[in-house]
Structure 1
Amino acid sequence: MMISTLKKLLVLLWLTLPVSAMAQIGIVATVNGKPITNYDVEQRLLFLQYATNIAITDANRERLTNDALQLLIDDMLKTNAAEDAIPDLGALLLPQVRDLIDQNFGTDTKSGSRVISDLGIDPITVQIKYLGDLAWSNYISTKFASRFEKVDTQVDDELERIRINASKPQLQLGEIILVPGPSRTLEQTAELAEEMVAAIRKGANFAEVARQYSASGSASRGGDIGWIIVDKLAPPFREALADVENGGVSAPVLVDGTIYIFRRVAERKDGLADASQSRVWLARALLPLDADATEADRLELAARLRRDTADATSCDDILA
């Protein structure tokens, strides 16, 4: 029987432990016959703390531990579903997983895995998380391939919509969407949202928090949802963003049992007609000059260039 990439990663995760720690490992859950241990949960908890900058305290440890377990279960379910549908997918994705870890956590002198390891976090824990995200994305793309065939038509429709609304105010936004789950009530989810906002306002990376926690499909993009016409936002969202400056984050917004957090990235007050979004076209004028030209030759040529371009009002004038 073929051993899945996820199972191999879990085995490697346990084999890296010292003998004394192995004796303390216990199984806390199973997913399709694959065990999740207390060590897996503790490592995911440490990674959550690092990635979100939410400090683990006596008050929130139990809730965050439950979150870590639920996220592990979600990752395993996504990876299992994808590997069942697409053989060897996990092995094919591992190089991409490592690249993502390097991009998000690496430095000029250290790989992402080394940075994480130096913090006392097992890199395999992070690989399992990113493998789940990428595997699920590939699974969805494959499963609904026929729907994606209509993308060109949808793009044309979207371009037409943008043209019609070209002069309307727009905001570039990021989102984090939180929903209660089996291990987290709505009240606990609201507490988590407040902790997230506080951490982000103190410097935590919004995109990484979104990747870890957001229930939205935008999570894999760090919560990025691009430019949104302000009038198209639901009234509670417009109200929450009204006093938020570019680069700032909104307070949590509760709508129909779901909690939303927005980051305001940028603004187009006049939509695509905003002068601040205009393109600037440049032209460069060059005149030949010998390498051994004298200083007088250089000054004379510079004066000629100024005379020739004195009346130019466009790039075309210079090119002419």
Structure 2
Amino acid sequence: MPFRTAVIASALLALAVAAVPVAQAQQTVGLRAPGQGLFADLPELTVLGSLEPNVRKATAIVNGDIITDTDVDQRLALVLAASEGRVSEQERDILRVQVLRNLIDEKLQIQAASENEVSVPEAEVEQAYARVAANFRQSPEEFARFLRQAGSSPASIKQQIRAELAWSRLLRKRIEPFVNVGEEEVAAIIRKLEESKGKDEYRVGEIFLSATPDQLPRVLADAARMVQAIRSGASFVAYARQFSEASTAAVGGDLGWVRAEQLSPQLAEVIVKMPRGTVSDPVVVPGGVAIVALIDQRQVLAANPADAILSMKQITVALPEGTTEAKARQIAEQIQARTRTMGGCGRAEAVAAELGGTVVANDSIRLGDLPGPLQDIVARLPVGGATPAFGSQRDGLRVLVLCGRDDPPANAGMPSFDAIYAQITDERVNSAARRYLRDLRRDAVVDYR
């Protein structure tokens, strides 16, 4: 049988948009990369009748601005791509309603920005779109073809970028100048951090869905379907960006590093029991329902081993086309036997030449940026040690050789005064932003068709 992919790796596809007040944030959207066969298994189709993609039916009119069926379909396609097809027809209908709500919010944000004479130059939208394409290692034109294949379009992503940029600028104009943070507040937080040194803290992702008491059963059911999809392989980040009503939605739900006592009692009880890399069941919290993901865990003000900077060399040996799995395992054993006794990084090029492979060196790899399984392996390697061989038919077999390691300083976890000041400012701006958006929703005239 042909050798199938055995890659110990994952891809984070980032949508880099300055969508958060005060600080720029990289935002991620969980699309599948080109070549993964999103529609590759479809049979030939014979189309009977006419299809006119330019006919657009109004789904909602928001203060006079139209949202069409096509707008909803193309945004929904991004979520379905993130779910890799593991979405039932019933859930698809629910997701469609949620996507429509998000598109209505985008219209309200763009309208509010326009009323306050806040504009976003088209050149900035194009630059942000180009960064998205670059994260896929594609030109904007290639990325446009990929989006259309997935059932979406460049216009859909650009509209989302435009709304995020406009809303961010509006908040900086209308809200941020009136947010005050005292030096004594920052000093108090620094004292608390010092008192908490050595305690556990957690990097948390969140999805928050608001709900009144009468809406709670429906929202809990919606949240449960999201959890099931995420546990089945859908992107937590994509769901957070599209559906979360928390201020962290713009950065894929990333709440950052928090201690359990900083969370609500309901979430604190859940997060301390979760294994790293898992997603919680829906949790009822004040105002609605939350889903949390435990991204990472460390100790307050302690050096984080994941921040170690590594110097490494990668040996890659290509596999002939049609290599069987048995043959690939045999080659992997030969590579591992040779690299285990090669005597460190200085011999990497010579050993690669013997094996018919190539070498790439990198002197600034952060341990935490390696895929999870590789992190655990590399963290235990001595300098000069090599990982087991891993790879795929397409990418070949690879071995990482550890040439050096710079561990982080013991006080690396202490945030600066400015960082804490910015965090408090962000929290207050985002809290005011949620109230502002609620007011816009309350006063809007929305005509559903």
Any idea what the Cα deviations from partners look like across 1:45-100, whole Å, max 9, x if unmatched?
22222235574433233322221211111111111111222343253641343145
- Higher relative contact order at CA 8 Å, sep ≥6: structure 1 or structure 2? 2
CA distance in 1: counterparts of 2:179 and 2:169, whole angstroms:
13
CA distance in 2: counterparts of 1:64 and 1:275, whole angstroms:
38
State the shift of 1:163 in Å.
2.2
Q: Residue 178 of structure 2: which of 130, 141, 147 is its match?
A: 147
For the pair 1:41 / 2:72, whether they are aligned, the reply is yes
For the pair 1:97 / 2:128, whether they are aligned, the reply is yes
Structure 2 partner of 1:51: 82
Residues 1:277 and 1:21: Cα distance change in structure 2 (over 3 Å): closer
Residues 1:266 and 1:20: Cα distance change in structure 2 (over 3 Å): closer
State the shift of 1:214 in Å.
1.0
Q: Number of aligned pairs? A: 259
| 8 Å contact from structure 2 (residues 202, 258) kept in 1 | yes
Structure 2 partner of 1:272: 301
Structure 1 partner of 2:156: 125
State the shift of 1:30 in Å.
1.0
CA distance in 1: counterparts of 2:205 and 2:188, whole angstroms:
23
Structure 2 partner of 1:194: 224
Structure 2 partner of 1:164: 195
Counterpart amino acid of 2:300?
G
Counterpart amino acid of 1:230?
A
| 8 Å contact from structure 1 (residues 210, 222) kept in 2 | yes
For the pair 1:107 / 2:139, whether they are aligned, the reply is no
Report which of the two structures shows the higher radius of gyration computed on alpha carbons.
1
Bigger proportion of residues as helix: 1
CA distance in 2: counterparts of 1:49 and 1:219, whole angstroms:
18
Residues 1:53 and 1:86: Cα distance change in structure 2 (over 3 Å): farther
Residues 1:37 and 1:201: Cα distance change in structure 2 (over 3 Å): same
For the pair 1:262 / 2:289, whether they are aligned, the reply is no
Bigger proportion of residues as strand: 2
TM-score, normalised via structure 1 length? 0.70
State the shift of 1:218 in Å.
0.9
Structure 2 partner of 1:116: 147
TM-score, normalised via structure 2 length? 0.51
Structure 1 partner of 2:168: 137
**Counterpart of 1:178 in 2: which secondary structure?**
strand
Counterpart amino acid of 2:92?
R
CA distance in 1: counterparts of 2:251 and 2:60, whole angstroms:
29
State the shift of 1:159 in Å.
2.9
For the pair 1:210 / 2:240, whether they are aligned, the reply is yes
For the pair 1:20 / 2:52, whether they are aligned, the reply is yes
CA distance in 1: counterparts of 2:159 and 2:200, whole angstroms:
41
Structure 1 partner of 2:441: none
Alignment of 1:302-317 (within 5 A): none
State the shift of 1:148 in Å.
4.7
Structure 2 partner of 1:316: none
Q: Residue 204 of structure 2: which of 173, 185, 200 is its match?
A: 173
Counterpart amino acid of 1:122?
S
Residues 1:102 and 1:238: Cα distance change in structure 2 (over 3 Å): same
Please, what is the CA RMSD of the aligned residues? 3.1
CA distance in 2: counterparts of 1:198 and 1:72, whole angstroms:
24
In structure 2, stretches of 5+ residues that fail to align are 1-49, 312-449
Structure 2 partner of 1:286: none
CA distance in 2: counterparts of 1:276 and 1:80, whole angstroms:
46
| 8 Å contact from structure 1 (residues 101, 113) kept in 2 | no
CA distance in 2: counterparts of 1:21 and 1:114, whole angstroms:
16
**Counterpart of 1:240 in 2: which secondary structure?**
helix
Residues 1:138 and 1:158: Cα distance change in structure 2 (over 3 Å): farther
Residues 1:204 and 1:100: Cα distance change in structure 2 (over 3 Å): farther
Any idea what the Cα deviations from partners look like across 1:186-244, whole Å, max 9, x if unmatched?
33322221222222223322222211111111111111111111233333212222332
| 8 Å contact from structure 2 (residues 208, 290) kept in 1 | yes
Residues 1:243 and 1:152: Cα distance change in structure 2 (over 3 Å): same
Q: Residue 229 of structure 1: which of 251, 259, 263 is its match?
A: 259
Q: Which stretches of structure 1, 4 residues or more, deviate above 6 A after TM superposition?
A: 277-280
